[in-house]
C-alpha cells in the first residue's frame, strides 16, 4: 500500500490500519510542501473558470446552507443549462460563500491519478471533492459521512472537531440530522497545509473558521460492507429455483388469526436450508473475490490511437512494447486445468500449460515481445501472439503504437 503510505507518512501504514482505520480519527501533520504538487489555488482558479462548468458540480454554501442554483447560474443560448455565472459567483465569494466542487477526480487528470492509486491500494471506490472557504467562514454544519474521509489540507488553515459516532457504520441513507445528536468530542486539531485528518465513517465532525482562507480536498473511500456481500449473494441466489419460487398464499383472505402458518414456516425453512448450503459451499470467498475484482474498471479506459489500429493488420514483433494499467486489480485462478483471469470487467480463460506465462504478464505493467518469449521458453512467437491478441482486443494490454510495425499492405 505504497500510495496510502505516502499519504499518511510519517504515520506507519500498519499502525494506521490496526489502530485508526474505521475506528478512530487521527490528525497527521506534514511538511507545508507535502501536497504542493497535488493541487493549488491556481488549479482551482483554472477549474472554475471553465465556461462549461454547471451546477451541481459546483455548489456554494453560505451560513451553513446550500445556496439555490438560481443565485449563481445563468441561462445562455450558447452554453449548457445551469451554467455557472462567474460574476455572480465572485460576488457571493466576497460575501463569504464556500465553494464545494464534487467529483474533482472526474475533471482533473492528476487528481484522477491520485484517486486511482488510492483506489488500487484500498480495493474500494475512491473519490475526491474540493472545499474552499474564506477566513472566518464555516462551511457545513456538524455532520457525519457514510464513507471514510481523508481531509487533505492544501492551503490555509482550518480547525476541526471530531466526536464519537452515535450510529456506528452508517449506510448511505443514514443521514446525520438534528434529531440525531453527536457523541462525545474526542479530537480537536488545527489543520495546516500539508496536514491530513482521517475521519472514520459515522464520526461527527465540523470545520471551525480561522483567520485564513482554506483550501482542502477530501478523499472519500466507499468501503464494501456486509450489505454489499448480501447484494452479491442475492444475484447469485436468483439462479436458484428455490429463491425464484412463489411465497405461499399465507396472506390471502382474513389474516387476523395468524398463529404460525405451516406453509409459510416450511417455505422459510426451505430458504434457510438453501442459504446455509450456499454460504457453506466450497469456494464462496473465491467466487465473491472474483466478482469484486470483476467490478474494477480502468480509470483510463482509452488508449487512442490504439483503438484505430486494426489488430489483424498489426504486426506484433519481439521488439513491440506493451503496457498494462497499473491501476487495475487482477485475480488469477486455476479452474479445472485452465487458468481463469478476472481483470477490468473481463473473464479470460487460458490453457493450464501457460499459467506461469500468465502470472508473469500480470506482474508487469510494461514489457516487450521478447519478455513474453522469455517467460515461457517453450512457446513459439506465433503462440505468444495468439495469447496476446485477446488481451489486446479486450483493452487489457495496450500496444505502444510508436513501436508497432504495420504490415506494408495495410
Site residues (vs Fe ion, CB under 5 A)? 145
Pairing state between β 148-155 and 125-133: unpaired
Which residues lie below 8 Å from residue 139, measured CB to CB, with a gap of 6+? 61, 64, 98, 100, 131, 133, 207
Q: For residues 187 and 373, which CB has a smaller minimum distance to Fe ion in the complex?
A: 187
In angstroms, what is the minimal distance from the CB of 339 to Fe ion? 44
In angstroms, what is the minimal distance from the CB of 178 to Fe ion? 16
Q: For residues 121 and 145, which CB has a smaller minimum distance to Fe ion in the complex?
A: 145
Q: How far is CA 47 from the centre of its chain?
A: 22
Q: For residues 100 and 399, which CB has a smaller minimum distance to Fe ion in the complex?
A: 100
Residue 196, beta-bridge partner list: 28, 152
> Which residue is nearest to Fe ion, using beta carbons?
145
Helix (H) or strand (E) holding 74: strand 73-74
Pairing state between β 148-155 and 214-222: antiparallel
In angstroms, what is the minimal distance from the CB of 199 to Fe ion? 7
* Neighbouring C-beta atoms of residue 223, cutoff 10 Å: 17
Q: For residues 145 and 296, which CB has a smaller minimum distance to Fe ion in the complex?
A: 145
Q: For residues 204 and 367, which CB has a smaller minimum distance to Fe ion in the complex?
A: 204
**ω into residue 308 within 30 of 0, thus cis?**
no
In angstroms, what is the minimal distance from the CB of 95 to Fe ion? 23
In angstroms, what is the minimal distance from the CB of 69 to Fe ion? 22
> 145 vs 16, 220, 410, CA distance in Å?
20, 9, 56
Buried b (16+ CB within 10 A) or exposed e, 377-407: eebeeeebbebbeebbeebbbbbebeebeee
Q: For residues 145 and 148, which CB has a smaller minimum distance to Fe ion in the complex?
A: 145
- In whole angstroms, give the CA distance from residue 343 to residue 180: 42
Q: For residues 80 and 165, which CB has a smaller minimum distance to Fe ion in the complex?
A: 165
Q: For residues 176 and 303, which CB has a smaller minimum distance to Fe ion in the complex?
A: 176
In angstroms, what is the minimal distance from the CB of 149 to Fe ion? 6
Q: For residues 125 and 288, which CB has a smaller minimum distance to Fe ion in the complex?
A: 125
In angstroms, what is the minimal distance from the CB of 207 to Fe ion? 8
Q: Report the phi/psi class of residue 57: left, alpha or beta, with left for phi > 0 and alpha for psi in -120 to 50.
A: alpha
Burial of residue 171 (number of CB atoms within 10 Å: 0-12, 13-18, 19+): exposed
In angstroms, what is the minimal distance from the CB of 68 to Fe ion? 22
- In whole angstroms, give the CA distance from residue 150 to residue 397: 33
In angstroms, what is the minimal distance from the CB of 144 to Fe ion? 7
Cβ 400 vs Cβ 323: under 8 Å = yes
* Neighbouring C-beta atoms of residue 271, cutoff 10 Å: 16
Amino acid at each position: 500500500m505504497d500510495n496510502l503510505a505516502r499519504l499518511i507518512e510519517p504515520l506507519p501504514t500498519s499502525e494506521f490500519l490496526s489502530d485508526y482505520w474505521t475506528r478512530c480519527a487521527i490528525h497527521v501533520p506534514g511538511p507545508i510542501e507535502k501536497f504542493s504538487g497535488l493541487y493549488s489555488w491556481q488549479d482551482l482558479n483554472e477549474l472554475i473558470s471553465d465556461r462549461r462548468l454547471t451546477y451541481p458540480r459546483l455548489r456554494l454554501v453560505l451560513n451553513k446552507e446550500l445556496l439555490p442554483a438560481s443565485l449563481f447560474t445563468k441561462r445562455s443560448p450558447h452554453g449548457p443549462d445551469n451554467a455557472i455565472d462567474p460574476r455572480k459567483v465572485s460576488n457571493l465569494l466576497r460575501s463569504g460563500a464556500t465553494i464545494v466542487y464534487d467529483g474533482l477526480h472526474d475533471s482533473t487528470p492528476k487528481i484522477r491519478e491520485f484517486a486511482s492509486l488510492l483506489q488500487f491500494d484500498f480495493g474500494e471506490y475512491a473519490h475526491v471533492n474540493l472545499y474552499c472557504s474564506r477566513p472566518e467562514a464555516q462551511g457545513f454544519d456538524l455532520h457525519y459521512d457514510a464513507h471514510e474521509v481523508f481531509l487533505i489540507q492544501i492551503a490555509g488553515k482550518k480547525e476541526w472537531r471530531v466526536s464519537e459516532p452515535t450510529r456506528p457504520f452508517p449506510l448511505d441513507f443514514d443521514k446525520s440530522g438534528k434529531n440525531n445528536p453527536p457523541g462525545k468530542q474526542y479530537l480537536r486539531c488545527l489543520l495546516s497545509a500539508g496536514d491530513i485528518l482521517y475521519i472514520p465513517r459515522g464520526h461527527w465532525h465540523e470545520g471551525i473558521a480561522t483567520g485564513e482562507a482554506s483550501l482542502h480536498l477530501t478523499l472519500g473511500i466507499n468501503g464494501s460492507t456486509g450489505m454489499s456481500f448480501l447484494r452479491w449473494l442475492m444475484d447469485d441466489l436468483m439462479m436458484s429455483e428455490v429463491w425464484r419460487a412463489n411465497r405461499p398464499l399465507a396472506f390471502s383472505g382474513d389474516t387476523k388469526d395468524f398463529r404460525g402458518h405451516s406453509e409459510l414456516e416450511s417455505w422459510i425453512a426451505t430458504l434457510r436450508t438453501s442459504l446455509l448450503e450456499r454460504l457453506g459451499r466450497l469456494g464462496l470467498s473465491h467466487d465473491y473475490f472474483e466478482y469484486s475484482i470483476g467490478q474494477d474498471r480502468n480509470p483510463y479506459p482509452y488508449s487512442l490511437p490504439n483503438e484505430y489500429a486494426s489488430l489483424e493488420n498489426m504486426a506484433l514483433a519481439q521488439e513491440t512494447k506493451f503496457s498494462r494499467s497499473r491501476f487495475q486489480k487482477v485475480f488469477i485462478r486455476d479452474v479445472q486445468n485452465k487458468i481463469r483471469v478476472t481483470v477490468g470487467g473481463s473473464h479470460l480463460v487460458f490453457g493450464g500449460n501457460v499459467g506461469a506465462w500468465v502470472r508473469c504478464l500480470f506482474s508487469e505493467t510494461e514489457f516487450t515481445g521478447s519478455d513474453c518469449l522469455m517467460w515461457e521458453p517453450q512457446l513459439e512467437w506465433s503462440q505468444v501472439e495468439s495469447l496476446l491478441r485477446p488481451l489486446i482486443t479486450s483493452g487489457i494490454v495496450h500496444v505502444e503504437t510508436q513501436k508497432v510495425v504495420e504490415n506494408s499492405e495495410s
